[in-house]
Amino acid sequence: MTLGLLVEALVKYLAGVVMVAAMIFLPAGSLSYWQGWLLMGILFVPIFVVGVVMMFRSPELLTKRLRAKEGDSKQSRVVRLSGLLFVANFILAGLNWRCQWLLIADWVVWLAALIFVLCYILYAEVLRENAYLSRTIEVQLGQKVVDTGLYAVVRHPMYTATTLLFLAMPLVLASPLSFVVMLLYLPLIIQRIRHEEALLERELEGYGDYMRRVRYRLLPFIY
């Protein structure tokens, strides 16, 4: 761990907190939007905990995830479109709460929050299992196929966790309208997975055999 890495991580973390809070509460026009506070808590507390663990146990992985930039133009476009979906999700949820267009029951909010936390635990387990994880699609020096644990069940458990996280998010915000918007993330992640698998099959030794052994990409018996 270095002081520079610590400062960089804290700055990006605090910037994320401020940006998400602004996108949620400014459209809502009130700080009484309790579902917004709930999401802020279950989103940023685990991020902080995981970040601290990575800071001390795997600073190289934290560095990769903080500084990675997508070089492929097609994947860069997928990342930008995903970002726009998140912005639309937060803003629409705030407006939905302010105008009371279409809200969902509190029990659905709490169930979605539970799913969100469980998926975060799943995401943390994926980080523990795979030291080669990166925010960009690439084959790293010395990389080997990881085929144990969750990777023996589906080929992309990280995408499974993040997709479920993203779909639970608008329900935590009590906004079915935002949920409809976030469904547009599914074709984007499918496109990204296909591109990544083509690269890994071509450049990572043993990945083709791994694909034949583990049939499903995201969800067993479904996809």
Rounded to a whole number of angstroms, the distance between the first and last alpha carbons of the chain is 39
Residue 60 CB-density burial (10 A; 0-12 exposed, 13-18 middle, 19+ buried): exposed
CA distances from 20 to 4, 50, 157 (A): 24, 19, 25
Interval 143-186: pLDDT, tens: 778 888 889 999 999 999 999 999 999 999 999 999 999 999 99
State the Cα–Cα distance between residues 45 and 161, nearest whole angstrom.
Answer: 17
Residue 99 CB-density burial (10 A; 0-12 exposed, 13-18 middle, 19+ buried): exposed
Interval 98-123: pLDDT, tens: 999 998 999 999 999 999 999 989 98
Query: What pTM does this model have?
Result: 0.86
CATH number of 3-213: 1.20.120.1630
Return all residues near 210 (Cβ < 8 A) that are at least 6 apart. Answer: 145, 147, 155
Q: Sign of torsion, CA 69 223 115 147?
A: negative
Under 8 Å between Cβ of 129 and 149: yes
Residue 88 has pLDDT above 70, yes or no: yes
State the Cα–Cα distance between residues 175 and 91, nearest whole angstrom.
Answer: 10
Torsion of CA 163, 168, 169, 172, to 10 degrees: -170
State the Cα–Cα distance between residues 221 and 123, nearest whole angstrom.
Answer: 20
Interval 184-223: pLDDT, tens: 999 999 988 998 888 888 888 888 899 999 999 999 988 8
- Listed by start position, the domains of the chain span 3-213
Under 8 Å between Cβ of 48 and 13: yes
